[in-house]
């Protein structure tokens, strides 16, 4: 019973984690490009 509830929650957590990781990487890349333009 607990596993049936846990599996979708785990999938959602993984999706959010992946999305957060990629958006953070995207922001860092854009920030780096902005800094390079300034210098």
Per-domain residue ranges of the chain: 1-39
Q: Return the residue matching tokens 């019973």.
A: 1
Tokens of 16: 């959010």
Tens digits of residue pLDDT in 1-39? 577 877 889 999 999 998 888 888 998 898 888 888 876
- Among residues 12, 33, 34, 31, which one has the least CA distance to residue 23? 31
pLDDT of amino acid 1? 59
Q: What is the pTM of this model?
A: 0.47
Tokens of 18: 């992946």
Q: Return the residue matching tokens 């990781």.
A: 21
């Amino acid at each position: 019973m607990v596993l049936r509830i846990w599996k979708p929650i785990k999938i959602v957590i993984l999706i959010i984690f992946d999305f957060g990781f990629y958006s953070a990487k995207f922001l860092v890349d854009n920030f780096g490009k902005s800094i390079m333009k300034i210098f």
